[in-house]
Amino acid sequence: MAEVKVPELAESITEGTIASWLKQKGDRVEKGENILELETDKVNVEVISEEAGVITELKAEEGDTVEVGQVIAIVEDNGEAGGSSEEQSEDTSKEEEGASKESEKSSEKKEETSKDDSKESAEEESSDDGERIVATPSARRMAREKGIDLSDINASDPRGLVRSQDVDNHDKQPEKAEAPKKQEQPQKQASGKPEKPVVREKMSRRRQTIAKRLLEVSQNTAMLTTFNEVDMTNLMELRKRKKDEFQERHDGTRLGFMSFFTKASVAALRKYPAVNAEIDGEDLVMKQFYDIGVAVSTDEGLVVPVVRDCDRKTFAEIESDIVDMAKKAQNKKLGLDDMTGGSFTITNGGVFGSLMSTPIINGTQAAILGMHTIQKRPVAIDDENMENRPMMYIALSYDHRIIDGKEAVGFLKTIKDLIENPEDLLLEG
């Protein structure tokens, strides 16, 4: 027999939520085969079986929160796939008692049914709406023990007599029996008016974590946002001229805007090192590396994988890393190492059409850069001429405890100048 336990995840993660069981009780598994998907605060992790055999017991259900080291399943090497008929009966009824007690209860029910059939008299009582209910004493006793209202039970007897087997059948199908009642008798609000239709569902673990972290950032930082706008004309023309050659030279990697903004951010971080810092107690930690987080939207919420050493990578390497991270995020394949250790973050709301926003700082970082949609606007070229130019608003949300307004404005101005003159990025290395 082998126990399947929740594995060690990361230093800061002590628990997770079972997203889905990939194997069920009675299924045969091989050594190293995935048996469930575990959702943590940051990523989804697939848990494997350390031994080959048959799953004989699942100790947690989907949606349950489990801790690192907790036993969540049992695998036996000599178990029989599919399970016995007795086990299946126990699973269906979800009774906690053993098979022998189930057998005794079944015998008692049969005896009571036989007695019911032989009795000609039955007791009557009135339901809440005044309807007369006729039931045998054993059915009444069984309903009382199970907490079932006799008026909810459909009698099989054409005369409307409720027997013990009717109570038993009702107890085995509680959802079907309760559904009509819920529809016919909607809950009332305090005002006495019918309740408006709503759909209530539990937030995913990741959504709960996102909500918690964003609230912590807003409460624990002195966050401000400053704005500027960038004329994208030169960058768009450069990209148009070079994109085909770039893609051919770098094995299909496309030349996008993100690599330019990443390189511009590295140059600005070097010029204004406080933007690349964080507070640790009473210390200010000035980071000497440039690991840039790039926000990626998924069905389960926003994740921020990190592109490492952006100061040392080429445009092609940055573009390739961003694409790989985005694919892993969409396929839920991001690892914990992909999500930790970033020094600065870039988020691009422009891909969804956002014209302007105030992004929230990521974790303990000092700032985040927000990119937005490119929109043509009239721009004064000189005192006499106007032109329609492709313009983008950029925003820097920053922790005012670390960064002064002068530094924040200078940081954005540096990015603006480099993007509007993209050839200058080559001089930055």
Catalytic option among 338, 400, 417, 424: 400
What is the amino acid identity at position 147? G
Phi, psi of 232 (to 5 degrees): -90, 10
The C-alpha atoms of residue 137 and residue 143 are separated, in whole angstroms, by: 10
The contacts of residue 211 (CB under 8 Å, 6+ apart) are: 203
CB 388 within 8 A of CB 377: yes
Q: Verify whether residue 400 is a known catalytic residue.
A: yes
What is the amino acid identity at position 312? R
The contacts of residue 394 (CB under 8 Å, 6+ apart) are: 227, 228, 229, 230, 369, 370, 371, 372, 412, 415, 416
Catalytic option among 117, 149, 337, 404: 404
Check the CA dihedral 58-60-66-70 and report its sign.
negative
Residues pairing with 378 in the sheet: 388
Q: Verify whether residue 299 is a known catalytic residue.
A: no
Read out DSSP for 35-74? EEEEE-SS-EEEEE-SS-EEEEEE-S-TT-EEETT-EEEE
Residues with a catalytic annotation lie at 400, 404
